[in-house]
Amino acid sequence: MKKKKVNKVQVRSFNPTVNFIFNVIIAIFALSCLLPFFFVIVISLTSEQSLVANGYQFWPEEATWAAYKYIFAGVMSKNILRAFGVTILVTVSGTLVNATMTSLYAYVISRSNFPFRKFFTIFALITMLFTPGMVATYIVVTNFLQLKDTIWALILPLALGPFNILVMRTFFIKTVPDSIIESARIDGASEMKIFMKIVLPLAVPGIATISLFAALGYWNDWFNALLYIQKDSLVPIQYLLMKIQNNLDFLAQNSDMGSQIQGGLAALPSESAKMAIVVISTLPIALTYPFFQRYFVGGLTIGGVKE
């Protein structure tokens, strides 16, 4: 018997010098991404007097927690803790709803035996290119769906995104071959059982990718709260921090309202409080990224050739 020749895939390797240069370049790029956020943290811990006298510095002469104490002090602390709870609830619930609806929609239009897959694919693409506008959306949410001043007003407007649908559709086409689905159908499995037992385990990287996108969207959303929320008990953290910043700007611009107010403004940590707001709104969601990283990298390589 003749032995068949196996074509080996040649992997190109760089010499150590070139590899070292690329590592240095990537390290510099990573450092340039981290330095601005580190700088923001340092400014948030700098006293207002030091900022006025010396400007922004990487190593402040006088460090203080005054900005964070101002944000978390007194009655405001209860509002911030409540807003954090609302945001966490909206982010977790909204991400689950978004991932579920997106995965189901994308899986259906990714199957070649679905007769209306072209129509629903174009439908999703059109909604990404053309939006109804703020007025029409507001009328639907408030008058038609009656969601004003409810938690669903913060969840449903972002529950389904065409970009995530198209990403998951591509992932299903590249990752889940029709032969596996046909084999499961021959064995008598229902469509829902096929989706739950076969498709979902194969689609974990893609689902993690769109879940991260959805979580970022829900965590950073403040515009829906501005439109639909008037109850203090339903205000998310981003909208609350934006109102705090607007109050700081108003007080700083109206410093001629009296000697008593001027005395209070002198001790008000205006600039450092703004940076503290950035830290509070960014750090929690940034800490969750390492948990999604390995799935996120896999999701970004959708369509890559596997040997």
Quick one: pLDDT at residue 7? 47
Quick one: pLDDT at residue 187? 85
271 within 8 A of 189, measured Cβ to Cβ: no
Full-model pTM: 0.78
239-264: pLDDT as tens digits: 988 887 777 776 666 655 544 444 44
Inform me whether the pLDDT recorded for 124 exceeds 80.
Answer: yes
149-202: pLDDT as tens digits: 999 999 999 998 899 998 899 888 888 888 888 888 888 888 888 888 888 888
298 within 8 A of 304, measured Cβ to Cβ: no
Which residue blocks in the chain are alpha helix, DSSP H? Answer: 16-44, 48-54, 66-72, 74-110, 117-129, 134-139, 162-175, 178-186, 191-194, 200-202, 204-220, 223-228, 237-253, 259-266, 270-287, 289-300
More confident position, 233 or 274: 233
- Segment 120-132 mean pLDDT: 87
Inform me whether the pLDDT recorded for 299 exceeds 60.
Answer: no
Quick one: pLDDT at residue 305? 41
Classify domain 74-300 at the CATH class level. mainly alpha
- From residue 95, how far is each of 87, 127, 155, 196, 214 by CA, in Å? 12, 20, 9, 18, 6
108-117: pLDDT as tens digits: 998 888 888 8
With a pLDDT cut of 70, the percent of the chain lying above it is 82
Domain boundaries of the chain, sorted by first residue:
74-300
Confidence band, pLDDT 50/70/90 cuts, at residue 95: very high
Quick one: pLDDT at residue 223? 92
Inform me whether the pLDDT recorded for 2 exceeds 50.
Answer: no
Confidence band, pLDDT 50/70/90 cuts, at residue 80: confident
Average pLDDT of every residue of the chain: 80
- Segment 212-232 mean pLDDT: 91
> How far is the C-alpha of 183 from the C-alpha of 188, rounded, in Å?
9
Inform me whether the pLDDT recorded for 6 exceeds 50.
Answer: no
Confidence band, pLDDT 50/70/90 cuts, at residue 40: confident
Confidence band, pLDDT 50/70/90 cuts, at residue 98: very high
